[in-house]
Structure 1
Amino acid sequence: MTDDDPSQTSRWRHGARLAACIVFLLTLFYLVAVARVIDINSVRDMVEATGPAAPLVYVIVSALLGAILVPGPILAAGSGLLFGPLLGTFVTLGATVGTATISSYLGRRAGRESARALLGPTRANHLDTRLDRHGLWAVVAQRFIPGAPDALSSYAFGALGIPLWQMATGAFIGSTPRAFVYTALGASIGDLSAPLAYTAITVWCITAILGALAAHRTLRTWRRRNEEAEPTAKS
């Protein structure tokens, strides 16, 4: 293989494209999550000023902010502070599904072609088959893993080719416990010793344990299936 091999040049091009996407997302994450260039309090005040339309407005604004990597717990806490634990949980869920759909779509548009090119046809087709069957539950499991960034994961899922309906459904199912937790904590911000706050913390602990177990089992299952598929692919 020479240095001018078109296939090698194509792989370098796709690799550079994915690297550029990753650098862009990490820079965005630093700006909004670390440097805090967006004032969430000002956003919350703006939404509150819309009156009866505030829940719907917050869903839309929060979904967009989540897609540019504003941390979900902060947005959920704002929802709880504005709308209380009950309505706030539904607002948070709507925003979470919106963020997952937007991020996955952008990830697919920006990185799907390059991801397939780097994986190669055989591995890409094998991964597509796995994701068609189990993509929904992969999204659910990711949402249960403590500390896993939802928006960044959604971008990655989109690049890997998980269908949008699986992203939206998986985000709704998997995010329900955490949506309640962070929204309830936001609603209890003035009294973290209230029963609602203790309930939220208990739900978070249970979710974290289940998420860790699910992630371990999913990883072990995927590894076993990949090992079983390798001899078939080589033959």
Structure 2
Amino acid sequence: MLDPAATPDGLAARCTRVLFSPWARLGLLLTLLACAAAAMLMWHPQRLLIGGWPSQLSGPTALMAFVLAYGVCASAFVPRSVLSFGAGALFGSAMGPVAALAGTVLGAALTFGLGRLLGQDALRPLLRTRWLTAADRQLSEHGFRSTLMLRLFPGLPFCATNYCAAVSRVGWFPYLLATALGSIPNTTAYVIAGARASTPTSPAFVLSMAFIVLSGLAALVVAWCKRKSLRGDEPEAAAGTEAGTRVQARAGADQAGN
């Protein structure tokens, strides 16, 4: 009797399982990220966004093209601050924030979708250390609030936070909604700075840069306080684990005695 695995149908099924396995999908994701990073290093698309925008593009067409380029570039490791600065230089303080925010949400959706589709199944079993499990629990249980805090403060890599969130169990809608709302203050500040870059002594430029610096300092303070709170929770968690172990051991002894 022939082994089903040796038949063409069985071999095709095995190859399909291998190709669509979690680790194969993670390998594809890593390959895509490496190619994107290499492309960004060689091409420097931020120069196109800031100073080399095609002259034939204007009006709504230019705005839509910029949003698409912003989302793709933000998904490929180009800093959002540079892209938002370019939005201000190209579209001014009126339409620049609209283009930058739309591109931010698009970039978040692209990276979050790739991470959820290609990386979640392989990476979730690896969340074993205290810091990783704490971050995963925070994003999974308080997705909207946690994402909102991440977006309100600058300095965190956009792609990295998107992929980390994709590994967690946060939902699509709260994640993208929190990204849109939380990105408004700092994105607007960068856009205004880009729109007023030709006059660095203007009040608008100075105030926007001051807001960026102050929000960055606030992010450091919040991160430090959160780190201290996690350290404070560690002894309690360890004590709870030890108490649970003692209870289980006592219950086992009682059962053995009976």
Task: Choose from 187, 202, 215 the match for 1:179.
Answer: 187
Q: Is 1:207 aligned to residue 215 of structure 2? A: yes
Report the Cα offset of residue 77 of structure 1: 1.4
Structure 1 SS opposite 2:125:
helix
Structure 2 SS opposite 1:162:
coil
Alignment RMSD? 3.4
Structure 2 Cα separation of the partners of residues 51 and 24 of structure 1: 33
Aligned partner letter, 1:79:
A
Structure 2 Cα separation of the partners of residues 124 and 152 of structure 1: 14
Structure 1 or 2, whichever has the larger Rg, is 2
Distance 1:90 1:159, change over 3 A: same
Does the CA contact (< 8 Å) of 1:145 and 1:215 recur in 2?
A: no
Structure 2 SS opposite 1:46:
coil
- Structure 2's unaligned 5+ residue stretches are 1-20, 245-258
Distance 1:182 1:143, change over 3 A: same
Distance 1:99 1:128, change over 3 A: same
Structure 2 Cα separation of the partners of residues 56 and 199 of structure 1: 29
Aligned partner letter, 1:150:
F
Does the CA contact (< 8 Å) of 1:135 and 1:162 recur in 2?
A: yes
Distance 1:16 1:216, change over 3 A: farther
Q: Which moved more, 1:197-206 or 1:34-43?
A: 34-43
Does the CA contact (< 8 Å) of 1:154 and 1:167 recur in 2?
A: no
Structure 2 Cα separation of the partners of residues 76 and 233 of structure 1: 47
Structure 1 Cα separation of the partners of residues 173 and 231 of structure 2: 26
Q: Is 1:111 aligned to residue 119 of structure 2? A: yes
Summarize deviations over 1:191-214 as a string: whole Å, max 9, x none.
Answer: 111111101111112211221122
1:87 maps to 95
Higher relative contact order by CA 8 Å / sep ≥ 6: 1 or 2?
1
Distance 1:233 1:29, change over 3 A: farther
1:41 maps to 48
- Pairs aligned (count): 220
Structure 1 Cα separation of the partners of residues 87 and 161 of structure 2: 22
Q: Is 1:162 aligned to residue 165 of structure 2? A: no
Report the Cα offset of residue 217 of structure 1: 2.9
Distance 1:114 1:39, change over 3 A: same
TM-score w.r.t. length of structure 1? 0.76
